Amino acid sequence: MDIRWKPNVTVAAVIERDGRYLLVEEHTADGLRLNNPAGHLDPGESPMAGCSREALEETGYRFEPQHLVGVYLSRTEHPTRGEDITYLRFAFCGQLGEHDPSRELDTGIVRTVWMTPQEIRDSAARHRSPLVLQCMEDHLRGQRHPLDLFYVDPSVTHNPT
């Protein structure tokens, strides 16, 4: 039987301010891990809208993507849990907006942390995925791509009633 392979599409915010990057500490099946503000792309939204939503839900900060940092493919295997998941991640950098300290963070998010590049490198064993470090290094190298690389057909966001 043929099975169609479908990677999980995720979006991530690479947020830098004053030489530090905003990460989230979150509960995972492997314990507390560090990650970029990130999550799955929801039906009916563009990658940029999904990134803004995830950043707000996980950090309480408004975030407007302005550039694509990169497109990443990674695989997570946990044979004991029967997991073999491939992720297709679109990572964005952009404009950090207002913070709402009263906003409740997503389930599983323990806290947000601002870390230097070296602190992020030193904490690699605690990263949720190797993409946390890769996205930051690409950002530090100045990797930026225009958002007009994306075309979102109206059929994606059209919600027939």
The pLDDT-based confidence of 58 (bands split at 50, 70, 90) is: very high
Alpha helix ranges (H) inside 12-153: 47-59, 117-122, 131-140
The pLDDT-based confidence of 80 (bands split at 50, 70, 90) is: confident
Domains in the chain, CATH or no CATH each: 8-114+122-146 (3.90.79.10)
Instruction: Report the 3 state secondary structure along 36-62.
Output: CCEEECCCCCCHHHHHHHHHHHHHCEE
Please, which residues bridge with residue 112 across strands? 24
List pLDDT tens digits, range 116-160: 999 999 999 999 999 999 999 999 999 999 999 999 999 998 776
pLDDT, residue 30, reads 87
Counting residues of the chain whose pLDDT is more than 70, the rounded percentage is 98
pTM of the model: 0.92
Which residues make Cβ contacts (< 8 Å) with residue 15, sequence separation at least 6?
Answer: 21, 22, 36, 37, 55, 59, 61, 63, 93, 94, 96
The pLDDT-based confidence of 61 (bands split at 50, 70, 90) is: very high
Task: Name which residue leads in pLDDT, 121 or 3.
Answer: 121
Is 26's pLDDT higher than 60? Answer: yes
pLDDT, residue 79, reads 75
List pLDDT tens digits, range 95-120: 999 999 999 999 999 999 999 999 99
